[in-house]
Structure 1
Amino acid sequence: MELNLSRPICFFDLETTGTNIAQDRIVEIAILKVFPNGNKESKTWLVNPEMPIPKEATAIHGISDEKVAGEPPFRERAREVYQMIQGCDLAGFNSNRFDIPLLAEELLRAGLDFDMKNTVAVDVQTIFHKMEKRTLEAAYQFYCGKELRDAHSAAADTLATYEVLLSQLDRYPELENDVKALAAFSSHSESVDFAGFIQRDDSGDEIFSFGKHKGRKVLEVLEQEPGYFGWILNADFPLYTKKVLTQIRLARLNNRLS
């Protein structure tokens, strides 16, 4: 089984200092780029997070402060990473909820205007959980009949994720071999931002999914309580969430002017 692609797709995995999307940093990133003709290109980078790596994180992925002391920070890797994924769809294991949001934060922090408007994302973990309910190691054993060695190494996890998706397509004929269909199947909800703070209601309108305005339309809240916009921009929300909220607000202002 080969992926039916109309354009390249990048499988990627991050090892990080922790799980806080707005505050934690990348220490390793691996990308496996698969082209429509079946060719593959892969790269792995170690990254200096410019902050201490907690011992709990090192215990999981094996990357210590000493290991990345001589590596460049992400802002010096950002353009190369950005160019590799530009014009591609994305895929990963738990990528919709973690890897893509955190990568977006790092790219925006480096001054690169990362956007998912013309990109779809396939979350192999979601497909796996909807079908079998396991971890990546178990998924690799279950679907591929292999033991995942070097688990929590970004390169090993990335390649395993790619192989699991191919095996999922072989195993489940009801899964359509189409990246957009796989992205739709592996999505959790209709989120406008990656972190899920802004979602869409049944009418397709943006709504807040948290706090005192949970379930209310974003534009309605911004009109009735203008200070809420400023509060979000100054609070500890992901940069991509702030970018999306700003785009919604500017679109309304532009519509009024026109």
Structure 2
Amino acid sequence: MTWHTGRLCGFDLETTGVDVETDRIVTACVVQCGGKHPTQSATWLADPGIEIPEGAAAVHGITTERARAEGRPAAEVVEQVVAALAQAVRDGVPLVIMNAAFDLTMLDREARRHGVQPLTEIAGDQLRVVDPSVLDRQYDRYRKGSRTLEALCAHYKVALDGAHSADADAIAACRVAWRLGRQYRQIGTATVEDLHGAQIKWAHDLAVDRADYFRRTPGKEQQAATVRTDWPLIPHQREGAEQ
């Protein structure tokens, strides 16, 4: 059985913003699907403990008022999400995460903020991630147009019901990963261990190319410094450590 025809664990977050160091988790989903077993999905709504900006609420539909009224304590949510993902890793199920470096880094920082053992410390070298964004950019590098999850779903003819909700995005990412495994033999026949290692290099090289593009594009030069080459997670730096 190839990895994409077996069990997959999709993971997605909706957050208060896009800064992984300071923003917070609002909703989360961990879904297991495929492998000829029923789909199992768990979702969480957290009270992030800070205001949810109007712009973020407009994307995912969760206001500060709703999060405070209906959300569970952030520490509890983070602990349970980490536990669900850690169990998938222990079971040998690859994690499918669109733009993994964002979601895994956000989860890592929230875990540290709330005194929860980070997933990377639990999983160690057993962590295996499949990132549709990295795979798509590597194997169809020169395709024009958007590379958002919605765009990938349209391109690979995958249903996306309720974009920008964590549960819909998590299952859609798994469907796109499955399509990529079917469409590109090199992806589908690779072991998940080899694929994980390859994505580390591909993500680095793609980020270097993106930074080079910014440097040579008038008006975008300063954006080059914001591009990170780390994948699937931006390493945590201890407070006071050299940046």
Please confirm whether the aligned pair reaches a TM-score higher than 0.5, indicating the same fold. Answer: yes
Other-structure match for 2:79: 79
Amino acid at match of 1:43: A
Question: For the residues of structure 1 that align with 2:168 and 2:242, how far apart are their CA atoms?
Answer: 33
Report the CA distance between 1:120 and its aligned residue: 1.9
Q: Which structure carries more helix by proportion?
A: 2
Question: For the residues of structure 2 that align with 1:197 and 1:107, how far apart are their CA atoms?
Answer: 11
Report the CA distance between 1:236 and its aligned residue: 10
Within the candidate set 203, 210, 234, 1:195 is matched to 234
Other-structure match for 2:156: 143
Question: Superposed, which structure 2 residues align to 1:1-258 within 5 Å?
Answer: 3=4, 9-34=8-33, 38-70=37-69, 71-87=71-87, 88=89, 89-95=94-100, 97-114=101-118, 115=120, 116-117=123-124, 118-132=126-140, 134-144=147-157, 146=159, 148-175=160-187, 176-187=189-200, 188-189=203-204, 191=230, 194-195=233-234, 233-234=239-240
Amino acid at match of 2:174: Y
On the 8 A contact 2:163/2:169 being kept in 1, the answer is: yes
Which of the two has higher C-alpha Rg? 1
Corresponding residue pairs, total? 200
- Please, which runs of 5 or more residues in structure 1 have no aligned partner? 199-231, 238-258
Question: Does 121-130 or 22-31 show the bigger shift?
Answer: 121-130
Amino acid at match of 2:72: P
SS at match of 2:47: coil
Distance change in 2, residues 1:152/1:173 (3 Å): same
Report the CA distance between 1:39 and its aligned residue: 4.4
Report the CA distance between 1:171 and its aligned residue: 0.8
CA RMSD after TM alignment: 2.8
SS at match of 2:19: coil
Report the CA distance between 1:82 and its aligned residue: 2.3
Amino acid at match of 1:194: L
Question: For the residues of structure 1 that align with 2:13 and 2:172, how far apart are their CA atoms?
Answer: 14
On the 8 A contact 1:15/1:28 being kept in 2, the answer is: yes
Identity %, equivalent residues: 28
Distance change in 2, residues 1:143/1:185 (3 Å): farther
Question: For the residues of structure 2 that align with 1:99 and 1:167, how far apart are their CA atoms?
Answer: 22
SS at match of 2:234: coil
Q: Which has the higher contact order (CA 8 A, sep 6+)?
A: 2
Question: For the residues of structure 2 that align with 1:37 and 1:106, how far apart are their CA atoms?
Answer: 34
Question: For the residues of structure 2 that align with 1:109 and 1:183, how far apart are their CA atoms?
Answer: 27
Question: For the residues of structure 1 that align with 2:231 and 2:97, how far apart are their CA atoms?
Answer: 19
Question: For the residues of structure 1 that align with 2:158 and 2:173, how far apart are their CA atoms?
Answer: 13
SS at match of 2:17: coil
Q: Deviations over 1:116-144 (max 9, x none)?
A: 52212221111112233522112111212
On the 8 A contact 2:46/2:72 being kept in 1, the answer is: yes
On the 8 A contact 2:132/2:177 being kept in 1, the answer is: yes
